[in-house]
Amino acid sequence: MADDQPLTRVTCTAPVNIAVVKYWGKRDEDLILPINSSLSVTLHQDQLKTTTTAAVSRDFTEDRLWLNGKESDIEHPRLQSCLREIRRLTRKRCSESNGEGNSDRPPFSLTYKVHIASENNFPTAAGLASSAAGYACLVYTLAKLYGVEGELSEVARQGSGSACRSMFGGFVQWLMGEEADGKDSIAQQVAPETHWPELRILILVVSAEKKPVGSTAGMQTSVKTSLLLKHRAKALVPERMAEMIRHIQQRNFEAFGKLTMQESNQFHATCLDTFPPLFYLNDTSKQVIALVHRFNAHYGKTKVAYTFDAGPNAVLFMLEETVDEFVEVVRRSFPPANNGGQFVKGLPVEAATPSEELLSAVVRDPAPGALRELLLTKPGPGPMLVGDPSAHLLGPDGLPQSYS
């Protein structure tokens, strides 16, 4: 390789998000346009993130992809959608900047092939939706590589609907939009990650079970068969979006928490109204729900709120002041299996000794081993460019570092 610049590499990271107003159902399968708006909290990348390196070189003979170190199918239609969109935006940008000099052109030809490597800092087996972070990271990284700016959430959306919300930090809404081409189906930040410093997010990872019906197939069936989903999307979500934004702006935890739980329950209700019905909550999920309600009832207010996506893991919201005590309550309710691993991960948790009154009121029928681990995190920033060259997942030869 005689060229000065045989390889251009860019590495970025992107976060996971958890919806508090749920997205379920598409009005356009190809463009991934939803039947209702949704709203999420972006989780901090210190605990959960995807890292992606994209590289181009005139020496590459084909586009290639590695996921968590394993070569994977780059022909996946949704991944191709994102690649195509980014390349289209690059061409558009180049043609627009014609006559103004070449400063906006990428430092390489668009015909060059691309190598992409992506990995999560959390096990896929954790059952945490990784596709949102994955596609957000892919789109953000490619955009940085090609020097594209502008409405990237629309591109990420075409990889995985909820990925568009991972393009921002803090509190993010995905506006459903009205246009047929999806140009107005985009994500917007409602409040930055610094808006609510006391907010904490505790993820309860339920011990592995059978994989449930995937969300893509599930939501298709729901759209086709659930009359309650139709009503929810059309008549109920618009008001709930406005309410949720108000509660977040006012940092009203009780109202935010209650609506978050109601949203989760209503989403799972529409899954049950689907034919055949979809069950994503298992008995452990239900025990977590009952525990949260008993805990709140004991205090006479909403101190903890749950939400569940298309799987059994619980994502709990609470204020910092509640964390230590509640984690101990969870530990008593779901005694860790003696497997040597760390039970509570993420942000530090202090030991707490809840009152006997609290314990006797909320801890019932302990289920040893039902939870695999807890992960404490908080709202965090959106995708970021990584400056440190040692973070590249692809080596100077354009292959995964571990292969080099």
Nearer to its own copies, 276 or 389 (CB): 276
Q: How far is the CB of 279 from its own copies (least distance, A)?
A: 5
The total of other beta-carbon atoms located within 10 Å of residue 275's CB is: 11
Sites for its own copies among residues 93-132 (CB under 8 A) = none
x-or-dash string of contact with its own copies, 232-271, rule CB under 8 A: x--xx---------------------x--xx--xx-xxx-
Among 183, 224, 286, 301, binds its own copies (CB under 8 A): 286
Instruction: Give buried/exposed letters for 36-66 (b at 16+ CB in 10 A, else e).
Output: bbbbbbbbbbebbbbbbbbbbbeeeeebbbb
Give Cα 322 distance to the centre of its chain: 24
CA distances from 186 to 30, 74, 174 (A): 15, 25, 6
Nearer to its own copies, 93 or 258 (CB): 258
Instruction: Give buried/exposed letters for 297-330 (b at 16+ CB in 10 A, else e).
Output: ebeeebbbbbbbbbbbbbbbbbbeebbbbbbbbb
Nearer to its own copies, 80 or 262 (CB): 262
What is the rounded CA–CA span in Å between residue 402 and residue 354?
A: 47
Contact 333, 148 (CB under 8 A): no
Nearer to its own copies, 179 or 209 (CB): 209
Nearer to its own copies, 105 or 293 (CB): 293
Q: How far is the CB of 207 from its own copies (least distance, A)?
A: 14
The values of phi and psi at residue 17, to 5°, are -130, 155
The total of other beta-carbon atoms located within 10 Å of residue 158's CB is: 25
Stretch that binds its own copies, among 41-49, 52-60, 274-282, 391-399 (CB under 8 A): 274-282
**Dihedral sign for Cα atoms in the order 300, 241, 266, 235:** positive
Give the chain's length.
Answer: 404
Nearer to its own copies, 189 or 207 (CB): 207
Residue 346, strand partner residues: 376
Q: How far is the CB of 166 from its own copies (least distance, A)?
A: 28
Q: How far is the CB of 274 from its own copies (least distance, A)?
A: 8
What angle (nearest 5°) sits at the alpha carbon of residue 71, between those of residues 214 and 91?
85
Among 91, 92, 224, 231, binds its own copies (CB under 8 A): 231
Nearer to its own copies, 6 or 277 (CB): 277
Number of residues in contact with its own copies under rule CB under 8 A: 27
Nearer to its own copies, 269 or 358 (CB): 269
Residues contacting 231, CB < 8 A, separation 6+: none
What is the rounded CA–CA span in Å between residue 130 and residue 136?
A: 10
Stretch that binds its own copies, among 16-24, 36-44, 64-72, 280-288 (CB under 8 A): 280-288
Q: How far is the CB of 290 from its own copies (least distance, A)?
A: 8
Sites for its own copies among residues 191-230 (CB under 8 A) = 225, 227-228
What is the rounded CA–CA span in Å between residue 119 and residue 133?
A: 10
Residues contacting 386, CB < 8 A, separation 6+: 11, 12, 13, 51
Q: How far is the CB of 249 from its own copies (least distance, A)?
A: 23
Nearer to its own copies, 314 or 376 (CB): 314
Sites for its own copies among residues 289-318 (CB under 8 A) = 289, 293
Among 274, 307, 313, 377, binds its own copies (CB under 8 A): 274
Q: How far is the CB of 277 from its own copies (least distance, A)?
A: 5
CA distances from 1 to 4, 5, 7, 8, 387 (A): 8, 9, 10, 13, 25
Among 74, 191, 255, 272, binds its own copies (CB under 8 A): 272
Q: How far is the CB of 312 from its own copies (least distance, A)?
A: 11
Nearer to its own copies, 311 or 380 (CB): 311
- Residue ranges of alpha helices (H) inside 22-117 are 77-96
CA distances from 393 to 56, 167, 242, 318 (A): 13, 21, 41, 35
Among 69, 279, 324, 381, binds its own copies (CB under 8 A): 279
What is the rounded CA–CA span in Å between residue 199 and residue 206?
A: 22
Q: How far is the CB of 219 from its own copies (least distance, A)?
A: 15
The residues binding its own copies (CB under 8 A) are 225, 227-228, 231-232, 235-236, 258, 261-262, 265-266, 268-270, 272-277, 279, 282-283, 286, 289, 293
